[in-house]
Chain A
Amino acid sequence: MDLTGLRWLQQQQMVPPEFLQMLGSDGREELRRVENYLGHNLDVLQSFRPGYDTTIDGCISRTSSFQMEPVKNNEENRVIALLNKRKPEGKTEKREKKKKIKAEDETESSMKGKSNMSNRETSSDIQKQDYIHVRARRGEATDRHSLAERARREKISKKMKCLQEIVPGCNKVTGKAGMLDEIINYVQSLQQQVVFLSMKLSFINPELEFHINELSSMMVDSRSFPLHQQGSLDYSVINSNQTTSLGAKMETSSSWDVHSHCPYNNLRTDSVSSLFSLK
């Protein structure tokens, strides 16, 4: 591959200028290795994508999504990642910082004209939306299973982080196992509390009858009557100046933001968590 082709590439903003420098001197060796490596695999690749132009005359990589043979060499990995860099498009899903493997069918064929390029672009546009974009970091395998595995693991760790914020006392512990321990303990303690409280409730239940009307009235906060019917309870409406303990507890909670990063965060129970702490 000669430099003219590379310059064309640069014009396409595919290759950073520094890369050209690198290629000019000793990068060529690398590139040639890459070409050779990929050249061997071309037959295999073609079988996956029948509609594509087969002559790859010295052009570097044609990476297809998840159909690529695992790249063994780390250097090649990096080079391919560099070469495949494209202008970011808006439709990629799950784009994270370092994690963006080119999943599109791109061709770096500088030899072919722009027309071919546009053809492939349109068809690769269609294919782009199907794939999850994850970039392989250096030294990591790029086959399909490990990619899916990694995406899954990241989802899980993201959720663990959310849980960490909910469960009090989780900040001090690190690592999955410790956190899971904490979470288990917390859930168990909450459930035991419920059992205990309901036991208490059953003891005082006879007296409940006297207070039941008071209770039912206290449940209603006068400042926020719901629009729908409350059922067939006997309600007595409280004066607006009176605040109930339950109403006070309700005030501390903030509004729900469904689209926030961690949906649990806005559901605050500060008063509750201060009442008991695990550590």
Chain B
Amino acid sequence: MERQIISKKKQVFSVEPTKLSPSEVFTRKYTSHLVPALKKLNMDKNSSQINQVTVKHEVDMALALSAQEFAWGRFLLQKLSSADSKSSSSNQTQILERSNDEDGEIEEKMKELQELLPGGKEMNVEEMLSEIGNYIKYLELQTSALKTIVQDTT
């Protein structure tokens, strides 16, 4: 692999602005948040335990910071910065009782969705549905970014 190293600590600017699609923008933002954070973690802890919680925290933080244009992103950021020392509760795998009632079933599922989405409880159903779409997309991007990071270092 040829690599031309121009300079170590130089900032690089381009002459013309380039058009980036939102997924590129997000991926770039995300990695630029996450990678320095991980590096910092490494240097701070210095081979002592790097528990999963802090890594997960950084991962979520990076997501929240890169998705500030969405309500769920802002909410996530709020939640993370306020609950810094506490361990994150696993709210992702909750097994809810599903009632057999026809009408209530859909309501229940909507509620479940609301709990999955950060900040979903404070939204009404319509808002939540549009936010969920964004959330899914950005989760996918996040997973692909994480995969790349993991793959490239192993």
Q: Is A211 an interface residue (CB 8 A)?
A: yes
Residues 23-49 of A contacting B (Cβ, < 8 Å): none
Within the complex, what minimum Cβ distance (angstroms) separates A57 from chain B? 46
A206 to B44, CA, bound (A): 12
Interface residues in A144-163 (C-beta closer than 8 Å to B) = 152, 155-156, 159-160, 162-163
- Flag whether A115 is at the interface (Cβ < 8 A): no
Residues of A within 8 A of B9 (CB): 234
CB–CB A205/B56 < 8 A? no
Contact between B137 and A264 (Cβ–Cβ < 8 Å)?
yes
Contact, CB under 8 Å: B24 / A253: yes
Q: A201-B38, A255-B19 are in contact. Are A227 and B153 (CB under 8 A)?
A: no
Point out the residue from B11, B105, B136, B144 that lies within 8 Å of A271, measured CB to CB.
Answer: B144
Q: In the bound complex, do residue A242 and residue B1 qualify as a contact, i.e. CB atoms below 8 Å apart?
A: yes
Spot the interface stretch: A74-82, A116-124, A180-188: A180-188
Contact-residue size bin, chain B (C-beta under 8 Å from the other chain): 35 or more
Which residue on A lies nearest to B115, using beta carbons? A184
Question: Are A239 and B14 within 8 A (Cβ)?
Answer: no
Residue from the list A163, A177, A193, A254 in contact with B132, Cβ < 8 A: A163
Query: Cβ of B64 < 8 Å from any Cβ of A?
Result: no
B3, B17, B92: the one within 8 Å of A227 (CB): B17
Between A194, A220, A245, A266, the greatest number of chain B beta carbons within 10 A of the residue's beta carbon is seen for A194
A126 to B50, CA, bound (A): 66
> Chain A residues in contact with chain B, CB under 8 A?
152, 155-156, 159-160, 162-163, 166-167, 176-177, 180-181, 183-184, 186-188, 190-195, 197-202, 204-209, 211-212, 214-220, 223-227, 229-231, 233-239, 241-242, 245-246, 249-250, 253-256, 263-264, 266-269, 271-273, 275
Q: Are A231 and B93 neighbours in the complex by a CB distance under 8 Å?
A: no
B32 to chain A, nearest CB (A): 6
Query: Could you tell me the dominant secondary structure of chain B's interface residues?
Result: helix
Residues of chain B lying within 8 A (CB to CB) of residue A184: 109, 112-113, 116
Question: Are B137 and A202 in contact (CB-based, < 8 A)?
Answer: no
A180 touching B3 in the complex, CB below 8 Å, given contacts A187-B136, A245-B151: no
Q: Are B21 and A205 in contact, CB atoms less than 8 angstroms apart?
A: no
CB pairs A–B below 8 angstroms (28 shown): A160-B129, A162-B133, A176-B106, A180-B109, A183-B132, A184-B113, A186-B136, A187-B117, A190-B136, A194-B139, A199-B55, A201-B55, A202-B51, A202-B52, A205-B55, A212-B39, A214-B152, A219-B31, A219-B35, A224-B18, A225-B18, A226-B14, A226-B18, A238-B4, A249-B27, A255-B21, A267-B22, A267-B23
Q: Mark B118-144, 1 if CB is under 8 A from A, else 0.
A: 000000011001101111110111111
Complex CA–CA separation, A264 to B137 (angstroms): 8
Closest to B153 in A: A211
Please indicate the chain B residues that have their CB under 8 angstroms from the CB of A215 in the complex: 35, 149, 152-153
B59 to chain A, nearest CB (A): 4
CB distance from B38 to the nearest CB of A (A): 6
